[in-house]
């Protein structure tokens, strides 16, 4: 259990961490939706709150205002699913096992996995508010969505006509000194590239890229972090050109919107010693090139038997390697309007090899729909050039800046009261469910906020306890003032 007794937390703040610990014990990776949705339904029943549980495992819980005077209802919103990543040594079964979380000073972390504070701390905070009888608030429509991390699917499927509120606080941001007011849109492009195989006699060598930082493909895409799938593709291209190797398989990444920090490949070689020597040189070459941002990178090499292997034939190898190494990846364009903001990007999040095809799964983002469409067409054309079967999934629109926002001004005022300084107001390159709700609910006044969470979507993810306490207190003050307007 988390031991927070020395922090002298208020009972309300204490409940946030207790609920967070409860939901951390529930497997809730994207697609694994039913158990966490059932937990929220049981919570609503236990506290006598009206709720809607739809077929997509979205949950809406309704709570009346705490005071008997008119107040506009407000949506408090977070998502139920998490990106699940684990270290190579971690044996946790994310389909059936809960996370092992622990306290380390001011931080809450997970043992060998992502923490799931994105967005579990939002769920815990909202449930703590719904549970309490002594927190002043207007009517609340608490919206918990499914499968946000794989394309905002739950938010897109939710029946927005169930909601009456015209103001919404999304709790999916990760810096407590920042108020988010706009975000990018996006979609995924999936390329299924047919491959033919041939039998080749030679030595097996297994390659593993390890130790890369990884990260969120919206938040960290401009921080110089190396994509393991792209790096492995370049290594295989050089191996093919210099040592005439044959490729058996390439597999890397687990989520399209996470910069992959690991990738494996199996190759068949004739001249084992030449290849092993070349691999030593290539590791040094790439380490020198990326050392500043990736100090822990390593290329692990394992030798296997000399026998027959089913490998990509020459035509399949050429079209696959050409696609993976020439298609763009990372930042495509920076914003001309907002200094330092990435406008358009893409991430080769997953490579999977099957018997008869290789699948490349890209996550694309842009704050401009026209640029998103152009980049989507570029990747689709690259897929067609490789004779791939192509599909576009998970589209979500950009969330555009609202010039008039009373809720934004209220949050800014409450922040200044608490900290004595102005909060930063920013647009982000990552996707937020605010975009889906703002495009569906006319005149929705929407903001996104949250406590400090670091290295989201990686096994180094950690949540600041002190930041969470301060953020939760600020949120309660905002809700209290909403009753006075």
Q: Are the C-beta atoms of residues 213 and 461 closer than 8 Å to each other?
A: no
Helix (H, G, I), strand (E, B) or coil at 171: coil
For the question of residue 198 being annotated catalytic, the response is no
Looking at per-residue pLDDT, the higher value among 338 and 479 belongs to 479
Measure the CA–CA gap between 122 and 215, rounded to whole angstroms.
20
Q: What is the pLDDT of residue 177?
A: 97
Measure the CA–CA gap between 96 and 94, rounded to whole angstroms.
6
pLDDT-derived band at 282, boundaries 50, 70, 90: confident
Q: What is the pLDDT of residue 1?
A: 72
Q: What is the pLDDT of residue 288?
A: 83
Q: What is the pLDDT of residue 430?
A: 83
**DSSP labels for 421-438?**
SPPEEEEESS--THHHHH
Q: What is the pLDDT of residue 392?
A: 97
How many helices and strands in the chain, by DSSP H and E?
A: 11, 23
For the question of residue 67 being annotated catalytic, the response is no
Q: What are the residue ranges spanned by the domains of the chain?
A: 5-184+398-482, 187-396
pLDDT-derived band at 187, boundaries 50, 70, 90: very high
User: What is the tens place of the pLDDT at every residue in 243-252?
Assistant: 889 999 999 9
User: What is the tens place of the pLDDT at every residue in 287-329?
Assistant: 788 888 999 999 999 999 999 999 999 999 999 999 999 999 9
Mean pLDDT, residues 200-215 taken together: 96
23 pLDDT more than 90 = yes
Residue 302 neighbours by CB distance under 10 Å: 11
Report residue 479 as tokens.
């809700």
Q: In whole numbers, what is the pLDDT of the chain averaged over residues?
A: 94
Q: Are the C-beta atoms of residues 237 and 325 closer than 8 Å to each other?
A: yes
Catalytic residue among 57, 118, 147, 148: 148
Helix (H, G, I), strand (E, B) or coil at 144: strand
Fold of 5-184+398-482: Aminopeptidase (3.40.630)
79 pLDDT more than 90 = yes
Question: Which stretch of DSSP H or E encloses residue 262?
Answer: none
Least confident of 82-86, 128-132, 348-352, 385-389: 82-86
pLDDT-derived band at 55, boundaries 50, 70, 90: very high
Q: What is the pLDDT of residue 285?
A: 83
User: What is the tens place of the pLDDT at every residue in 97-110?
Assistant: 999 999 999 999 99
Mean pLDDT, residues 197-206 taken together: 97
Q: What is the pLDDT of residue 262?
A: 96
Q: What is the pLDDT of residue 394?
A: 83
Mean pLDDT, residues 39-56 taken together: 98
88 pLDDT more than 90 = no
pLDDT-derived band at 340, boundaries 50, 70, 90: confident
Q: What is the pLDDT of residue 401?
A: 85
Fold of 187-396: Alpha-Beta Plaits (3.30.70)
Mean pLDDT, residues 215-235 taken together: 94
Q: What is the pLDDT of residue 484?
A: 80
Which residues does 48 contact at the CB level (< 8 Å), separation at least 6? none
Mean pLDDT, residues 436-462 taken together: 95
Measure the CA–CA gap between 440 and 305, rounded to whole angstroms.
58
Q: What is the pLDDT of residue 128?
A: 98
Report residue 246 as tokens.
């044959």
362 pLDDT more than 90 = yes
Q: Are the C-beta atoms of residues 383 and 320 closer than 8 Å to each other?
A: no
Q: What is the pLDDT of residue 157?
A: 95
Mean pLDDT, residues 353-373 taken together: 95
Pairing of strands 424-428, 178-183: parallel
436 pLDDT more than 80 = yes
Catalytic residue among 21, 57, 81, 445: 81
pLDDT-derived band at 230, boundaries 50, 70, 90: very high
Pairing of strands 178-183, 167-170: unpaired
Beta-strand ranges (E) seen in 161-244 are 167-170, 178-183, 185-194, 197-210, 215-216
pLDDT-derived band at 129, boundaries 50, 70, 90: very high
52 pLDDT more than 90 = yes
Measure the CA–CA gap between 96 and 78, rounded to whole angstroms.
23
Q: What is the pLDDT of residue 70?
A: 79
Pairing of strands 107-110, 462-464: antiparallel
């Amino acid at each position: 259990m988390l031991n927070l007794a020395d922090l002298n937390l208020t009972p309300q703040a204490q409940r946030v961490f207790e609920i967070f610990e409860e939901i951390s014990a529930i497997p809730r990776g994207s697609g694994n939706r039913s158990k966490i949705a059932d937990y929220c339904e049981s919570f609503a029943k236990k506290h006598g709150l009206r709720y809607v549980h739809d077929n997509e495992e979205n949950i809406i819980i309704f709570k009346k205002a705490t005071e008997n005077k008119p107040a506009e209802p407000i949506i408090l919103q977070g998502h139920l699913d998490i990106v699940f990543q684990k270290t190579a040594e971690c044996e946790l079964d994310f389909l059936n096992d809960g996370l092992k979380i622990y306290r380390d000073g001011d931080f809450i972390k997970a043992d060998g996995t992502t923490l799931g504070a994105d967005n579990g701390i939002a769920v815990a905070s909202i449930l703590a508010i719904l549970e309490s009888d002594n927190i002043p608030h207007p009517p609340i429509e608490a919206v918990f969505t499914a499968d946000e991390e794989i394309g905002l699917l739950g938010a897109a499927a939710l029946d927005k006509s169930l909601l009456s509120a015209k103001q919404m606080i999304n709790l999916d941001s990760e810096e407590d000194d920042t108020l988010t007011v706009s975000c990018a849109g996006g979609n995924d492009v999936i390329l299924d590239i047919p491959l033919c195989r041939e039998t080749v006699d030679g030595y097996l060598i297994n390659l593993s890229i390890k130790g890369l930082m990884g990260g969120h493909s919206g938040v960290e895409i401009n921080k110089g972090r190396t994509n393991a799938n792209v790096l492995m593709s370049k290594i295989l291209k050089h191996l093919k050109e210099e040592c005439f190797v044959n490729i058996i398989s390439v597999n890397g990444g687990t989520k399209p919107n996470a910069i992959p920090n690991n990738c494996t490949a199996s190759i068949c070689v004739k001249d084992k010693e030449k290849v092993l020597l070349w691999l030593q040189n290539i590791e040094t070459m790439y380490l020198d090139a990326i050392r500043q941002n990736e100090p822990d990178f390593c290329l692990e090499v394992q030798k296997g038997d000399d026998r027959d292997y089913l490998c990509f034939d020459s035509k399949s190898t050429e079209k696959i390697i050409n696609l993976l190494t020439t298609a763009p990846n990372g930042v495509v364009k920076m914003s001309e309007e907002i200094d330092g903001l990435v406008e358009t990007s893409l991430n080769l999040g997953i490579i999977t090899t099957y018997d008869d095809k290789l699948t490349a799964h890209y996550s694309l983002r842009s704050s401009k729909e026209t640029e998103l469409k152009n980049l989507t067409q570029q990747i689709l054309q690259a897929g067609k050039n490789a004779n791939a079967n192509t599909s576009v999934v998970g589209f979500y629109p950009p969330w555009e800046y609202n010039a008039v926002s009373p809720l934004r001004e209220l949050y800014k005022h409450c922040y200044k009261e608490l900290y004595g300084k102005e909060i930063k107001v920013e647009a982000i390159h990552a996707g937020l469910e605010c975009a889906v709700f703002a495009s569906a609910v006319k005149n929705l006044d929407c903001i996104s906020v949250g406590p400090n969470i670091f290295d989201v979507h990686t096994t180094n993810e950690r949540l600041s306890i002190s930041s969470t306490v301060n953020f939760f207190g600020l949120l309660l003050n905002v809700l209290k003032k909403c009753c006075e307007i």
